[in-house]
């Protein structure tokens, strides 16, 4: 093991934990709001990975600008997802993906 993982062990562990938790939340839930929470957690993990990579390569400004863009995109994704969820609830009366698939 060399490079970034050797220097930033705790941060890399946190990134891995957050990615695993987000993936588990997305894959193991049928509630759409819970799935969106999992997507947000994975976005946190990727932001932290960007920051650690920027620190490791002495490119903090670039990493920060990418992080700002990513946080903005994440907020937009959340807003669109919320709009889809609320409209799906109004249309079908449920936010369960299985029930929506059965109706579709």
Partner 1 sequence: MEKIIALSVLITAAAFAVFSADLLVSALFLALSSVAASVVYYLLGAVQASIVELSVGAGLISILFIMSITLSGSRFVKTQGTRTPVRAAPTKLAGFWLAVTVLVALTYSIVSSRAFGPSAAAITASPDVSPVLWGNETGYIYYIMFVILSSGIGLATLFGKGGSTR
Closest separation in Å from C-beta 69 to partner 1: 7
Three-state DSSP string of 32-101 = HHHHHHHHHHHHHHHHHHHHHHHHHCCCHHHHHHHHHHHHHHHHHHHHHHHHHHHHHHHHHCCCEHHHHH
Among 46, 96, 97, 100, binds partner 1 (CB under 8 A): 96
Give yes or no for residue 57 binding partner 1 (CB under 8 A).
no
Closest separation in Å from C-beta 102 to partner 1: 14
31 forms beta bridges with 96
Please give the residue ranges that form the binding site for partner 1 (CB under 8 A): 10-11, 14, 17-18, 21-22, 24-25, 29, 31, 33-34, 36-38, 40-41, 44, 47-48, 51-52, 54-55, 60-65, 67-69, 71-76, 78-83, 85-87, 89-91, 93-96
């Amino acid at each position: 093991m060399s490079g970034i993982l050797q220097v930033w062990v705790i941060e890399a562990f946190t990134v891995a934990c957050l990615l695993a938790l987000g993936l588990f939340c997305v894959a193991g839930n049928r509630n759409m709001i819970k799935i969106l929470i999992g997507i947000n957690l994975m976005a946190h993990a990727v932001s932290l990975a960007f920051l650690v990579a920027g620190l490791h390569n002495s490119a903090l400004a670039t990493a920060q600008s990418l992080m700002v863009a990513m946080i903005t995109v994440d907020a937009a994704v959340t807003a669109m997802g919320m709009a889809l969820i609320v409209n799906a609830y109004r249309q079908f009366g449920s936010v369960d993906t299985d029930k929506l698939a059965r109706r579709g």
